[in-house]
Amino acid sequence: MATTLVNAETRVTENVVSNRWKIKVVDRNSLSCSENKLEHGYIVSSVLNRDTKQFGKKYLFDAEEDTCWNSDQGSPQWIHVQFPEAVTLQEMHIRFQGGFAGKECWIEVEGAENKVDPIKFYPEDSNSLQRFPFPENLCCTSVKIVFNTSTDFYGRVTVYQLNLLGVT
């Protein structure tokens, strides 16, 4: 079974399957998706100064190194990703801006066959890409990544890259 990205990191020609998701079939058992609209997509808790042009959620998955989602102040902050179909998640990759990283974090899973307790993870306060594996065979329709506290005094979180790896 091939592992593929369940977001917009792949820069290949994609077949538009719906007006909400771009989907490229990698092989029979996997696909790569990127979200264009809110429905069956993702939402965030806040955007710094409501400046979506400069710090909006669209920059989470754009695969550009110089763009980011920047939350407004306050805690908790979160990113809620809803997939167009059930996905078996394997790993999450996330890159924060140092000084604005999530501190006390967990992932809430929805649409799983069995109830799944929140999955805690502990990111470092750094600019490097960090990898967090999911429990084996975690099939779900959405995840909510919660940053309960932040390394920033005001509770802001800055994410330059978010990848959710898995198969369909």
Q: Tens of pLDDT along 80-119?
A: 999 888 999 999 999 999 999 999 999 999 887 778 899 9
Per DSSP, the three-state class of 51 is coil
| CA-based nearest residue to 123, from 152, 93, 144 | 93
Q: Which helix (H) or strand (E) holds 54?
A: helix 52-55
- Read off φ and ψ for residue 104, nearest 5 degrees: -105, 100
Beta bridge mates, 43: 80
Per DSSP, the three-state class of 55 is helix
Q: Look at residue 136 in the predicted model and tell me its pLDDT.
A: 85
Q: Is the pLDDT of residue 11 over 60?
A: no
Give the chain's radius of gyration (CA, Å). 15
Condensed to tens digits (0 to 9), the pLDDT of residues 34-81 reads 433 334 588 999 999 999 999 999 999 888 999 999 999 999 999 999
| CA-based nearest residue to 105, from 92, 114, 115 | 92
- According to CATH, the superfamily of the domain at 41-162 is Galactose-binding domain-like (2.60.120.260)
Q: Look at residue 29 in the predicted model and tell me its pLDDT.
A: 37
Q: Cβ(132)–Cβ(46) under 8 Å?
A: no
Q: Look at residue 113 in the predicted model and tell me its pLDDT.
A: 78
CA 134 to chain centre: 13
Q: Look at residue 40 in the predicted model and tell me its pLDDT.
A: 57
Greatest mean pLDDT among 11-15, 28-32, 127-131: 127-131
User: DSSP readout, 112-164?
Assistant: -SS----EEE---SSSS-EEEEEEEEEEEEEEEEEE-SBSSTT---EEEEEEE
Query: Counting Cβ atoms within 10 Å, is residue 42 exposed (0-12), middle (13-18) or buried (19+)?
Result: buried
pLDDT band with cut points at 50, 70 and 90 for residue 151:
very high
Q: Look at residue 55 in the predicted model and tell me its pLDDT.
A: 95
| CA-based nearest residue to 67, from 46, 51, 78 | 51
Other beta carbons within 10 angstroms of residue 49's beta carbon come to 11
Q: Look at residue 41 in the predicted model and tell me its pLDDT.
A: 86
